[in-house]
């Protein structure tokens, strides 16, 4: 096991102080959105001797374990992040493995540079995600029942000509109405901009309403504050809003449309940079690929609670092949055997202090510090703190 130092990412939606506070560093007043721990080429973490993690893996593939070498081509298949949002991110989804491979090959044949602004597929990998809240965390994720969305819009008191935009939610069967309205709301014309004004103006009258209508109205006004007049705001209102409390999580499978709104959490994902944006952004929107990838099924996305595997060890059981995630709640005097010994693992401390020991070697990590644990190492954790452990999912 070796200490690991992550890569800082500054995006304008990030919060100013949440991640610096976790890392134990001073805030410089600029947004700090993400802290990456992994071997992704856009933000490679460094081992204690300064070696980039991807170079260490290339020189010693056995540190990953057999599963990662055989199933994932000798690459670390997951990426661990601290994420902190002060304002909403773009409306987005990610492809499954088959779509990613096809899209990546298609854009390579078109000779699109990997960093081209109109490039959608930057690698041939899927990107499932798990977000675990460290603070109260708000997100839009998964489509609401279309008739329920139509009812909420009507209860706002929108104009008849605006109601016509959403009529397919009531009159078309299954996911067809959702898909039609969602894509229609990505059209940047004056009629759609007028509909945004109508919806937001109506929503202001219901900000203090109880229950789902008030929550719906507050979501509309929040999005308009950050994306004024953007028709994709209407598309975003077709999604369910979730509020996670610390320790709760959402599992976002490929094709699930989502947008994080605010809060701080630990995000674990497949190590990929494939993002298909569906609005609330100035970046490229690939409508053709979006239609192929998005799952327009309206099914409730359930809040995920971890399962206790042993005292102090909690597993977020989601069945992903690329990654598995545990939370460690350590108290003085208790030793916790770390799971997934056959996998290379990353451990990130999010509160207090965690000590790691092999019997002959030891390492103490404070809040914000992390370590890479090579495959085959039997590790026990102790201390008084909280940490997250991530391994290859097939070794869970």
The token pair at 338 is 């770390």
The token pair at 169 is 């939610």
Catalytic hit among 277, 327, 345, 374: 277
DSSP letters spanning 327-352: EEEE-TT--EE-S-TTS-EEEEEEEE
Q: Of 45, 127, 54, which Cα lies nearest the Cα of 369?
A: 45
Name, in order, each residue with C-beta under 8 angstroms of 168's C-beta and a sequence gap of 6 or more. Answer: 176, 177, 180, 181
User: CA–CA separation, 222 vs 260, rounded Å?
Assistant: 12
Strand pairing category for 34-37 and 7-9: antiparallel
**Residue 269 Cα distances to 180, 288, 384, angstroms:** 29, 24, 27
Q: Which residue has the tokens 């102080």?
A: 17
CA dihedral of 26, 27, 28, 32, whole degrees rounded to 10 = 130
Query: Phi first, then psi: what are they for 380, rounded to 5°?
Result: -115, 140
Q: Of 189, 190, 195, 209, which Cα lies nearest the Cα of 162?
A: 195
* CA 205 remoteness from chain centre: 32
**Would residue 106 show up in a list of annotated catalytic residues for this protein?**
no
Residue 324 bridge partners (DSSP): 391
Instruction: List helix spans (H) across 131-251.
Output: 146-156, 160-165, 168-171, 176-184, 190-204, 211-226, 232-236
Which residues are tagged catalytic?
277
């Amino acid at each position: 096991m070796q200490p690991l130092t992550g890569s800082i990412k500054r995006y304008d939606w990030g919060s100013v102080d949440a991640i610096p506070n976790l890392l134990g560093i001073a805030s410089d007043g600029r947004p700090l959105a993400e802290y990456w721990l992994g071997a992704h080429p856009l933000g490679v973490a460094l081992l204690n001797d300064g070696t980039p993690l991807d170079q260490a893996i290339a020189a010693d593939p056995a540190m990953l374990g057999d599963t990662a070498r055989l199933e994932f081509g000798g690459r670390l298949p997951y990426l661990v992040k601290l994420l902190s949002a002060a304002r909403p991110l773009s409306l987005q989804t990610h492809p499954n493995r088959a779509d990613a491979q096809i899209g990546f090959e298609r854009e390579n044949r078109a000779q699109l540079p990997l960093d081209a602004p109109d490039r959608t597929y930057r690698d041939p990998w899927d990107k499932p995600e798990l977000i675990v809240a460290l603070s109260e965390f708000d997100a839009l994720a998964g489509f609401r029942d279309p008739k329920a969305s139509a009812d909420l819009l009507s209860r706002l008191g929108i104009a008849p000509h605006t109601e016509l935009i959403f009529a397919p939610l009531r009159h078309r069967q299954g996911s067809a109405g959702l898909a039609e309205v969602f894509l229609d709301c990505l059209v940047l014309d004056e009629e759609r901009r007028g509909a945004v004004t109508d919806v937001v103006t109506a929503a202001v009258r219901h900000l203090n309403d109880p229950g789902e209508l008030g929550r719906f109205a507050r979501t509309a006004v929040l999005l308009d504050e950050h994306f004024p007049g953007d028709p994709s705001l209407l598309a975003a209102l077709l999604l369910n809003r979730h509020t996670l409390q610390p320790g709760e999580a959402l599992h976002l499978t490929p094709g699930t449309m989502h947008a994080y709104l605010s809060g701080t959490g630990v995000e674990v994902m497949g190590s990929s940079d494939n993002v298909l944006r569906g609005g609330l952004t100035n970046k490229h929107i690939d409508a053709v690929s979006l239609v192929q990838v998005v799952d327009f099924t309206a099914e409730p996305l359930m809040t995920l609670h971890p399962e206790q595997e042993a005292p102090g060890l909690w597993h977020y059981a989601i069945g992903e092949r690329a990654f598995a995630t545990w939370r460690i709640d350590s108290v003085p005097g208790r030793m916790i055997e770390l799971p997934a010994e056959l996998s290379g693992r990353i451990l990130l401390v999010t509160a207090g202090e965690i000590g790691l020991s092999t019997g002959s070697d030891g390492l103490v990590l404070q809040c914000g510090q992390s370590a890479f644990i090579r495959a085959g190492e039997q590790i026990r954790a102790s201390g008084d703190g909280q940490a997250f452990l991530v391994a290859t999912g097939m070794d869970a």
